[in-house]
Amino acid sequence: MTERYQNYVDGSWTDSETGETFETEDPAAPAEAVAEYQQSGAEDANAAVEAAAAAEDEWATTPAPERGAILREAGSILADRKEELTELLTREEGKTHAEAGGEVQRAIDIFYYYAEKTRDLGGDVKSASGPRTNLYTVDEPVGVAALITPWNYPIAIPAWKIAPALATGNTIVLNPASVAPGVALEIFKALDEAGIPDGAANVVTGPGSTVGDAIMTHDEVDAVSFTGSSEVGEMVYDKATDDGKRVQTELGGKNPTVVTDSADVDEAAEIVANGAFGVTGQACTACSRAIVHTDVYDEFVDAVVEQAESIEIGPGDEYDMGPQVTESELEGTLDYIEIAENEGATLATGGGQPEGDRFGDGYYVEPTVFTDVDNDYRIAQEEVFGPVLAVIEVEDFEDGLETANDVQYGLSASIVTDDHTEAERFVREVEAGVAKVNDKTTGLELHVPFGGFKRSSSETWREQGDAGIDFYTIEKTVYDGF
């Protein structure tokens, strides 16, 4: 029997006003339903926003360390349930057990991190120009925050929006992606058990086009944080800013790893393969372009193909790479593979769906490497969101850097080199919000800012670390003449 989830609004678990529900499926075995959720509508979204607005003053005036204590307790509850959350994430989203466990732990760590940050919230004291004046700033919560999150990191991304918003005294309404919402709702179970006041934290499941739009456009919402595709994110940004709301968007990527002639080729191949094929390539920071110096190109291709072919595919509880999350995502990846072949790229390995009993009707695709790719091919310019790597040959470092920047996105980028000068130039000149040296494009520390350039971000506010606190607070300057 599948578990049945409700919306969490104003401190209560409730069914939607629509009376409708939907089920999620296991991408490794699509005939198996995982859980049932509320197919909510605008009325449910509006009720959640109104509950958040009613709770705004109480939560904002709760001493920050008390808010932190609730976050810390919620983190502890999540930690106690880590294994069951890991299993739920694997069944709904398809990640391997190791990947899912790492993501759940990240969510736990985020709650602990922002719980501690509540002790340092406040402002700055400045020197006044005249006598008998105390001059200082106070950081206040923005108000009600609408949070809209994707399916590919279904607990980590909600956590890094929820925790800083609540830590700084904002009330929230979350609309998680319908493909894998279970672990996000488990966060609200933990917050409820930790004692968060009614209305401070609310979650409503249902389509983003209905629920997400309703919470984002509600007059009582003061800030909107969205993670998803560039196309949708740009519409969210335009609509929310037209209403005068504070907006933060983190969007798509077409992330390069530049491999120079001084690189250790085997190390480079391992770094690129981990970035390209980890989490089945379903990460906005996944490496989708390997830009390789001509002197090591052939050797690199052999090494990265060997890496790809060594990956064991299957259900996430046993194998190295799980399925794609839905049939439509799988079809999108297969479409891009066909497009790449039609454009003239050479299929070096992969490109199909694996066969065998263990794959059943699951949404599996082989780790895929294309060579002989020009940077103007669609496979090199558009986000695929699957385990597909385009290998591009370049003449020198200058050509590699120019090629890395020659896309509409700018989220994450890396270089593999043994030349410090090249590494320093790359970090300085690459057009990406995250730059890495001798490391994969994926993987983020939780205490530093995260965000992109160009179409990878609204380029307004960053997430995580102190940047997360900045987005959810507004400064007031005080002149105290006592």
pLDDT, one tens digit per residue, over 53-67 is 999 999 999 999 999
Strand pairing category for 171-176 and 144-149 = parallel
**pLDDT above 90 coverage of the chain, percent:** 98
Report the C-alpha dihedral over residues 431, 351, 297, 276, rounded to 10 degrees: 40
Q: Is 142 helix (H, G, I), strand (E, B) or coil?
A: coil
The token duo for 170 is 């904002």
What is residue 130's predicted lDDT score, i.e. its pLDDT? 87
- Residue that is written with structure tokens 């932190």 in the block: 68
Residue 316 confidence (pLDDT) above 90 = no
Q: How far is CA 400 from CA 254, 409, 417, in A?
A: 15, 16, 12
**Alpha-carbon span 264 to 302, nearest angstrom:** 14
145 forms beta bridges with 172, 223
What is residue 112's predicted lDDT score, i.e. its pLDDT? 98
**What is the domain partition of the chain in residue ranges?**
3-251+458-480, 255-437
Q: State which amino acid sits at residue 339.
A: I
Q: How far is CA 445 from CA 79, 106, 195, 234, 464, in A?
A: 19, 9, 29, 26, 9
* pLDDT tens for each residue of 182-237: 999 999 999 999 999 999 999 999 999 999 999 999 999 999 999 999 999 999 99
Burial class (CB in 10 A: 0-12, 13-18, 19+), 420: exposed
Once rounded to an integer, what is the mean pLDDT over residues 164-187?
Answer: 98
CATH architecture, range 3-251+458-480:
3-Layer(aba) Sandwich (3.40)
Once rounded to an integer, what is the mean pLDDT over residues 33-43?
Answer: 98
Active site residues: 284
**pLDDT above 70 coverage of the chain, percent:** 100
Average per-residue pLDDT for the chain: 97
What is residue 2's predicted lDDT score, i.e. its pLDDT? 85
Q: Which of 286, 293, 289 is nearest to 434 (CA)?
A: 286
217 forms beta bridges with none
Once rounded to an integer, what is the mean pLDDT over residues 244-248?
Answer: 96
The C-alpha angle 432, 296, 282, rounded to 5 degrees, equals 40
Max CA distance (Å), the chain: 81
Residue 14: pLDDT band (50, 70, 90) is very high
Once rounded to an integer, what is the mean pLDDT over residues 241-247?
Answer: 95
DSSP state of 278: G
**Alpha-carbon span 410 to 40, nearest angstrom:** 35
Q: How many other β-carbons are positioned within 10 Å of the β-carbon of residue 262?
A: 15
User: Bigger pLDDT: 1 or 216?
Assistant: 216
The token duo for 238 is 């335009």
Continuous segment of H or E residues that includes residue 317:
none
Contacts of 464 (CB under 8 A, 6+ apart): 160, 444, 445, 446, 447, 448, 449, 450
* pLDDT tens for each residue of 448-479: 999 999 999 999 999 999 999 999 999 999 99
Helix, strand, coil tally for the chain in percent (to 5): 40, 25, 35
Residue 370 confidence (pLDDT) above 90 = yes
- Residue that is written with structure tokens 């209403």 in the block: 243
**Alpha-carbon span 260 to 463, nearest angstrom:** 31
The CATH homologous superfamily of the domain defined by 255-437: Aldehyde Dehydrogenase; Chain A, domain 2 (3.40.309.10)
Residue 1: pLDDT band (50, 70, 90) is low
* Region of residue 103 (left: phi > 0; alpha: psi -120 to 50; beta: else): alpha
**Alpha-carbon span 328 to 340, nearest angstrom:** 18
Q: Which of 202, 287, 246 is nearest to 12 (CA)?
A: 202
**Alpha-carbon span 276 to 292, nearest angstrom:** 15
The C-alpha angle 103, 226, 149, rounded to 5 degrees, equals 40
**Alpha-carbon span 185 to 192, nearest angstrom:** 11
Phi, psi of 413 (to 5 degrees): -150, 150
Judge contact between 14 and 6, C-beta under 8 A.
yes
**Alpha-carbon span 427 to 414, nearest angstrom:** 8
Half-sphere exposure of 416 (CA within 13 A, CB side): 26
DSSP state of 438: S
Judge contact between 277 and 269, C-beta under 8 A.
no
Q: How many other β-carbons are positioned within 10 Å of the β-carbon of residue 233?
A: 23
* pLDDT tens for each residue of 57-93: 999 999 999 999 999 999 999 999 999 999 999 999 9
What is residue 479's predicted lDDT score, i.e. its pLDDT? 95
The token duo for 161 is 């929006």
Strands of 207-345 (E only): list them.
223-227, 246-250, 255-259, 287-293
**Alpha-carbon span 272 to 412, nearest angstrom:** 13
